[in-house]
Structure formats: C-alpha cells, structure tokens
Amino acid sequence: MAQISLTFPDGNAREFDAGVTPAEVASSISKSLGKKAISATVNGAHFDLQWPINEDASIAIHTLQDDDQALELIRHDLAHVMARAVQAIWPDVKVTIGPVRDYGWFYDFDREEPFTPEDLGVIEAKMKEIINAREPVTTEVWDRARAIKHYEDANEPFKVELIDRIPEGEDLRMYWHGDWQDLCRGPHLQTTGQLPADAFKLTHVAGAYWLGDATRPMLQRIYGVAFKNRKDLKAHMTMLEEAAKRDHRKLGREMDLFHMQEEAPGQIFWHPNGWRIYTTLQDYMRRMQERDGYVEVNTPQVVDRQLWEASGHWDKYQENMFIVEVDEEHAREKAINALKPMNCPCHVQVFNQGLKSYRDLPLRMAEFGSCNRYEPSGALHGIMRVRGFTQDDAHIFCAEQDIEAETKKFIEFLSAIYKDLGFEKFAVKFSDRPETRAGEDDVWDKAESALKSATEAAGYDFDLNPGEGAFYGPKLEFVLTDAIGRDWQCGTLQVDFVLPERLDATYIGADGDKHRPVMLHRAVLGSFERFIGILIESNAGKLPFWIAPRQVVVASIVSDADDFVHEVVNTLRAAGVRAEADTRNEKINYKVREHSLSKVPVILAVGMKEVEDRTVTMRRLGQKQTAVETLEAVAETLAVEATPPDLR
C-alpha cells in the first residue's frame, strides 16, 4: 500500500497508509485523543474524522476544546438533529437545507401548517431525546443516480433539485444521524452524544423563499442558537434580551427620529430629531476630512449604462442596481440609465478632467454620496439595511509606492474618528478575491500583496476573510464591537488596480510619461443610516451629548416660572446648546418621565425657588440624583459638552 506523510502542528511528520482517516491518526497518537477527537484540519480544510486522506498533508486534530471547530460542528449537527426531530414528529414535512450562521443555524422546511411557538418546545424536547440516545454519525459517498433515486423514492423534491445543482464530478456525500439521513458536505461530529443537550435553543420561525427566489415556494425557516455549554447560552440569551431593548426601530419611535412606510420600501423618512443627528455627524465628518487633506465633490445620481459597462458594474453588479429607462425627446428608443449604487466610477470621471501630474498625488476625493441598491424585501431591516443610503465615501488616487503610506494614514484617521464616537477598539479583516471579479490574477496578486504589506506596516494584525473582496479589488474591513458585545463591520479600505485601467485614468509621472494611478476606495462610517442605527443601539438611545438631537429640556414646575424658563433656554442657545422649553400645564414628574423616555440627556427643572436664586435643578438621563446649579455654571458646562470633539 502506498505511503503518505502527515505533518503535525509541532513540525513532526509521520508515515501512514494512503486512505488513513483522521480518526485513525488520532487513535495512533493516543487512545484518549481518539476518544476526544471531533474533526481535523487537513491542508487548511476542515475535515471529518471519517474522510480518507490520500496524499501528503499537514494535519491538526481538534477536540471540543477548540472553539471555532467545535462550535461549527455543534451548530451544524444540531441543524441535522432538528430536521430529524421535525420529521419524527411530522413525517409529511419535506426538508431542504440547514446552514450554520452567526451563533447558530437555520433549517428550511416545506409544511402546510405553520409552526407555532409551542411547536418549537416540542421540537426541542425531541432533539434532546435524539442527543441523549448517543447514536453514531456515519457518512458515505453515493453516485448521482443512486442519490436521486433515493430522494425521489422518499418524495423529497428539494433534495433532488439540490443534487441537480451540484456540478458533475463532485462527491455526493450522505450523512446519517442515527437512522436519519441527509445530503451534506460535512464535516460532522462522531455521535449525537457529543452535542450539549442543555446549550441550544430554538428561537423563532420566519418565512423564506426556496433558494431566496420570490417565484419559488415559500418555506418555513426555524432558527436556533447553540454554544458549548449552558453558561454561554444563557449569556447569549441575556444579550438578545438587551438587544431587543436597544432595537433602533423601537428607540427611533420613542425618540421621534424617523419612520418608514410601504410606499418607499427601504427608504427613510427622517424626522427633525433624526435629521439633526444625521447633519451633526455629517458636519463632523466634513471637518475631519478637510483637516486630513480631502477635497469634496458631488456627482450625479442617474448615470448612463455606458459608464457602468465600462466600469464593470453592469456585468458584475447589475442585479443590485435600479435601472431607469428614459425616452429621450421621444426618440422611440429608450436610453437606459441606472441609479448609482456606488460613487467610484463618477469619481474617476472627476479625476479624468484635465491633466494630472505626479505632483497632484495623492489626490483624496470625498463625497457624501447618495446611493441606491436593490436589497430583497426580506433583507431590509430598519435603517440598518436599506435601499437608499449615503456613504462617507472617498477615493484616494495615488502612485503604487504610496499605498503603504496612505493605508497607514487612513487607519490613523479612522481610529481617531471611532474614538470620538465612543469606539476605542476595532478589529481588522482582510478580504481577498471573490469568485466573480474583474481583472487578471496577476493584478489581484499585486493588489492583495500591497494591501497586506501596508496593513502590517501600519502596525495592525488582521484576520482573513476568504473570497469576500469587492469585484475590483481586495479590501480591509474594520469591525467595531458595541456595548453589548456585538460586532459591526463599518469602515473599509480597498486597493483597486482595475477601475483606473478600465476607465483610462492617467497622470504624468516625473519621467514625463503617462502612468496609471492606484485607486484606494475608503469609508469610515460606511452608510450614515446604518452607522446611526449602530450608535443608537450601542448607546441604548443615550447618545453622546454633542450628537443628541434634543440636548436640554427646561421644564417649569409652576407657570409663574415660565419667564425664567425662556431666559434659561435663550442663554443655553446662545452658548451653542440645543435647548427647548416645556411650560405645559403638567406635573414636573410627568414631564421628566416623558423626556426621559425620549432620551433627552439633560432636564432642567425651574420653580419659584430657582427663579429667586437664578439657579436650575439639573437631572441627567439615567441618574436619580439631581443637582442645583447656577444658570451661568450650567451654561458653561453644557457648552463644553455640546462642542464636537474635533472643535474642543
């Protein structure tokens, strides 16, 4: 039998017979490892313990102590166990797919009757029965004809369609969890008993079209979450409860910030309070960009398809674009335009106006660019996921040798802004070439190498995010962590050698010849709309004083104090504080409750004692105690707090 060499993480290598499985490798190391093993990484791929290894490879054996691999398998196996439980309870239900997702999984079912919350409890109980039976998980590779016949005989049409979508020559792998079978790429655990029976929960049911196609059947999607132990599950459920309290849609109503309606799906109607947040943030970003050497431009919303064809968006991004047809001067031939989904091709048009010299570079061109992208209605989520949005977008045109310096400069710029907005730390992810992309591989090699080197030179580590780059270049993603531990990808930086080539952007070098600039696409906040949603949820509506749309309410305790209330308001406004009067004929406790619900940071109460002493009684949001201060002292303190951090 042929021999293969397997190299372990410590660098040691051992010879094995070709076809050896990771389970056999683990047992050859020690009996205890053989019992504890759950999977392996073979040449960088996550490998089932039952799969044969037929060539020289690197190998690492995983146990339940390896969080990433353990959680992936726990969640993946629970998807299968849930599907098995559903069919055990309702045999007529047809199964489809059940992928792992953040914190858990989902599985789509075809069932005439809708699942109820009570059904979820019944399914959970059946899942625990299956887990406690500790049945083996086994796998086989079948040929296509056998697999199709099996699912046709079982009346599982969705599985037959899935097989038809798998390219010829790819293995069709079958998994059994006990006596229940499913088509799956794997890997999986070795027994159902390796699953933690007290560390998962089914959370909710939603509708989902088969394969995301609105013309296909509507299925029922059951979601679940799972962790390695009960403690982690409890912490996650507590976080979800806290997240529900912080939901920006709920707080948006309470704070009167915005609304959305059916006549404009995915579009936002900003109310005065919400628009105040928006413009305050935009004014701050404009000042920061000017300070960092950016010039600001504004480009059209509707652009002829010819530009999108030239840029590559028409081929690579058309499904996300809103197409606009116009009968130009009744010429009987409609001109085809598109609402811009992004600003980059238009910025190249600005760059191309007039001759550019190497002395003009780097040219940092910014735009608060309003974009429109088609998002499926099921994906829309408040102001977090919309169809119409504005980016704090910019493109840096530079020479190739400037990529490192400009990357470092941008990361420092982004870091300062995040700190001002209350996010002290962020993680960096590196996304390399996607399957659908423009440009040759050697160009991508150069772009990826340049961005990695620049990030390391800037002093930042990064995690790899394979295949998630833009179609025109690799990118860095900057991930914020909010107050309750959720991650949000906001800022991006992308290196692009493709678009300047496609749109014929050039500059005159020191040698007098024409050269292509490199184009760095960058955003700090990303979508203003989404970032405001993140700010609202992270701060539970208690926004930093300088951003808060309603900073101070001065409330009268008795009507005789109304004149002083207005004097206080005028004094605060003169000091640059957003202040308003509440002289309604209501009790002060009612006013305090109402304005606290609206998340007004400071409430100043004024009665006759305050009128006589020219003082105010100050209550800050979230604090029970009050403080009596002179009008002058309060105005001085709040004027400082109302000043944006870049102007202090």
DSSP string, 568-609: HHHHHHHTT--EEEE--SS-HHHHHHHHHHTT-SEEEEE-HH
List 184, 344, 346, 398, catalytic entry: 344
Mean pLDDT of 352-377: 94
Task: Using DSSP, state whether 505 is helix, strand or coil.
Answer: coil
Q: Is the CB of residue 436 less than 8 Å from the CB of residue 316?
A: yes
**99 and 123 co-located in one domain:** yes
Nearest to 200 by CA among 168, 233, 248: 233
- The pLDDT score that the predictor gives to residue 325 is 84
The DSSP output letter for 156 is -
- The pLDDT score that the predictor gives to residue 75 is 97
Instruction: Tell me the C-alpha distance between 206 and 201, whole Å.
Output: 16
Mean pLDDT of 214-234: 94
pLDDT tens per residue across span 433-456: 888 887 788 878 888 888 888 888
**346 and 225 co-located in one domain:** no
List 119, 393, 432, 496, catalytic entry: 393
378: pLDDT strictly greater than 80: no
Q: pLDDT-derived band of residue 332, with 50, 70 and 90 as boundaries?
A: low
Q: Is residue 220 part of a domain?
A: yes
H/E segment holding residue 130: helix 117-132
Q: Sheet holding 39-42: strands in order across? A: 13-17, 3-7, 57-62, 39-42, 45-47
- CA trace torsion 260, 479, 277, 407 (10° rounding): -120
List 84, 236, 437, 521, catalytic entry: 521
343: pLDDT strictly greater than 80: yes
**601 and 486 co-located in one domain:** no
**615 and 512 co-located in one domain:** no
Q: Is residue 536 part of a domain?
A: no
pLDDT tens per residue across span 65-89: 999 999 999 999 999 999 999 999 9
- The pLDDT score that the predictor gives to residue 554 is 97
CATH number, domain of 419, equals 3.30.930.10
Strand-pairing partners, residue 200, are 226
Q: Is residue 392 part of a domain?
A: yes
**428 and 293 co-located in one domain:** yes
- 439 Rama sector, left if φ>0, alpha if ψ -120 to 50, beta otherwise: left
- Is 373 considered catalytic here? yes
Instruction: Tell me the C-alpha distance between 333 and 327, whole Å.
Output: 6
- Is 259 considered catalytic here? no
- The pLDDT score that the predictor gives to residue 551 is 98
- Is 3 considered catalytic here? no
Instruction: Tell me the C-alpha distance between 183 and 186, whole Å.
Output: 9
550: pLDDT strictly greater than 70: yes
539: pLDDT strictly greater than 80: yes
Q: Is residue 486 part of a domain?
A: yes
- The pLDDT score that the predictor gives to residue 178 is 93
- The pLDDT score that the predictor gives to residue 331 is 60
- The pLDDT score that the predictor gives to residue 441 is 85
Q: Is residue 526 part of a domain?
A: yes
Q: Is residue 249 part of a domain?
A: no
Strand-pairing partners, residue 163, are none
List 475, 515, 599, 619, catalytic entry: 475
Instruction: Tell me the C-alpha distance between 438 and 308, whole Å.
Output: 13
Computed over every residue of the chain, the mean pLDDT equals: 93
Instruction: Tell me the C-alpha distance between 313 and 400, whole Å.
Output: 24
- Is 126 considered catalytic here? no
**576 and 605 co-located in one domain:** yes
List 75, 84, 395, 578, catalytic entry: 395
Q: Is the CB of residue 150 less than 8 Å from the CB of residue 139?
A: no
pLDDT tens per residue across span 169-197: 888 999 999 999 999 998 999 999 999 99
631: pLDDT strictly greater than 80: yes
**437 and 585 co-located in one domain:** no
- The pLDDT score that the predictor gives to residue 329 is 66
471: pLDDT strictly greater than 80: no
Domain stop point among 476, 501, 531: 531
Enter the tokens of residue 336: 């085809």
**219 and 127 co-located in one domain:** yes
- 392 Rama sector, left if φ>0, alpha if ψ -120 to 50, beta otherwise: beta
What's the angle, vertex CA 149, arms to CA 146 and CA 155, rounded to 5? 145
Domain span at 292: 272-531
Domain stop point among 483, 498, 531: 531
**457 and 569 co-located in one domain:** no
Task: Please compute Rg for the chain using Cα positions.
Answer: 30
In this structure, is the dihedral angle defined by the CA atoms of residues 124, 125, 130 and 133, taken in order, positive or negative? positive
Q: Which residue has the higher pLDDT, 146 or 459?
A: 146
Q: Is residue 538 part of a domain?
A: no
List 373, 387, 437, 522, catalytic entry: 373
Q: pLDDT-derived band of residue 33, with 50, 70 and 90 as boundaries?
A: very high
Domain count, the chain: 4
Q: Determine if residue 188 is labeled as part of a ligand binding site.
A: no
pLDDT tens per residue across span 296-317: 999 999 999 899 989 888 887 8
List 69, 289, 391, 551, catalytic entry: 391
CATH number, domain of 45, equals 3.10.20.30
**457 and 560 co-located in one domain:** no
- Is 446 considered catalytic here? no
CATH number, domain of 590, equals 3.40.50.800
**17 and 85 co-located in one domain:** no
Q: Determine if residue 46 is labeled as part of a ligand binding site.
A: no
Mean pLDDT of 561-569: 96
pLDDT tens per residue across span 585-598: 999 999 999 999 99
Mean pLDDT of 119-136: 96
- Is 360 considered catalytic here? no
Q: Is residue 316 part of a domain?
A: yes
CA atoms within 13 A on the CB side of 100: 19
- Is 391 considered catalytic here? yes
**300 and 174 co-located in one domain:** no
Mean pLDDT of 490-515: 93
pLDDT tens per residue across span 91-107: 999 999 999 998 999 99
Q: Determine if residue 346 is labeled as part of a ligand binding site.
A: no
Nearest to 591 by CA among 614, 562, 557: 557
- The pLDDT score that the predictor gives to residue 88 is 96
CATH number, domain of 149, equals 3.30.980.10
- The pLDDT score that the predictor gives to residue 472 is 77
CB atoms within 10 A of CB 246: 19
> CA separation (Å) from 302 to 268, 385, 606?
20, 22, 53
Domain stop point among 227, 244, 261: 244
Instruction: Tell me the C-alpha distance between 278 and 535, whole Å.
Output: 11
Mean pLDDT of 604-619: 96
578: pLDDT strictly greater than 80: yes
In this structure, is the dihedral angle defined by the CA atoms of residues 336, 339, 342 and 346, taken in order, positive or negative? positive
pTM of the entire predicted model: 0.82
